[in-house]
Chain A
């Protein structure tokens, strides 16, 4: 079966532009997570979806970041007015159940570079 997919795989943009990152979770997985990994750092939690709602947005760094999920499936992470510090790998993960014991399956990530 298909795993988690993300697009684009790489994105280079100019400072101040908006970008949209897409995540297709594993079919049937109700939980969806966004993380980002800056250079030399661990993964940093951004937002969590249960179905189409986002009970935990605590990791979003600023109001320039937003995310939505439609149909309990595809999710889009939008970064407005990108800054150089937004450069990172953005990773999406999905899980069958929302608990610590629920294995999260990660996509390959989108590498974002803001010039």
Chain B
């Protein structure tokens, strides 16, 4: 059973516009949510996170929104840049004592110049 789902395998946006990547989860005990970015042949790199007690966290062009009642989070990138083209993984922390992460399947973002 997939506890973290990214239902859109791919997304294409124009440079300068907003990119919105979505993620749904089923486990109400998740206490931390993270977004990772992955380029081909590289490991994922941490992008931004949010605690379950908050509903928004912003870092420069990146903002993560959390809707606990809907068990939904989203990553907004504005303005989008061609260098943002990568695979984006949503992840959730199941157990604060271990930091073990549960990942979604990923969304491939293409930002066109």
A residues near B (Cβ < 8 Å) are 4, 31, 33, 35, 40-45, 48, 50, 55-56, 91, 93, 95, 97-109
| Whole-angstrom distance between the Cβ of A42 and the nearest chain B Cβ | 4
Q: A31-B99, A43-B103, A108-B41 are in contact. Are A101 and B89 (CB under 8 A)?
A: no
Contacts of B51 in A (CB 8 A): 101
Contacts A91-B44, A108-B41 given; indicate if A100 touches B99 (C-beta within 8 A). yes
A41-B97 Cα distance, complex, nearest whole Å = 26
In the complex with contacts A48-B99, A48-B100, A103-B44 CB distance below 8 A: no
Tally of B interface residues using CB under 8 Å: 29
Contact (A98, B41) CB under 8 Å given A40-B105, A42-B106, A105-B46:
no
Nearest-neighbour CB distance to chain B for A55, whole angstroms, equals 7
Structural contact, A106 and B98, CB atoms closer than 8 A: no
- Contact at A106–B44, with CB atoms within 8 Å? yes
Chain B residues at the A interface, C-beta cutoff of 8 Å:
4, 6, 31-32, 34, 36, 41-46, 49, 51, 89, 91, 93, 95-106
CB-based nearest B residue for A3: B43
Chain B residues, Cβ within 8 Å of A107? 43
User: Given A43-B103, A100-B31: A55 and B46 within 8 A (CB)?
Assistant: no
Find chain A residues with CB under 8 A from B43 CB: 4, 91, 93, 106-109
| Chain B minimum-CB-distance residue to A109 | B43
The CA-CA distance from A44 to B102 in the complex, in Å, is: 7
Q: How far is the CA of A102 from the CA of B99 in the complex (A)?
A: 7
Q: A95 touching B99 by the CB < 8 A rule? A: yes
Residues of chain A with a CB closer than 8 A to B6's CB? 42
User: A33-B101, A104-B99 are known contacts; what are 10 more A-B pairs with Cβ within 8 Å?
Assistant: A42-B6, A45-B102, A56-B95, A99-B93, A99-B97, A100-B96, A100-B99, A103-B46, A104-B46, A108-B43
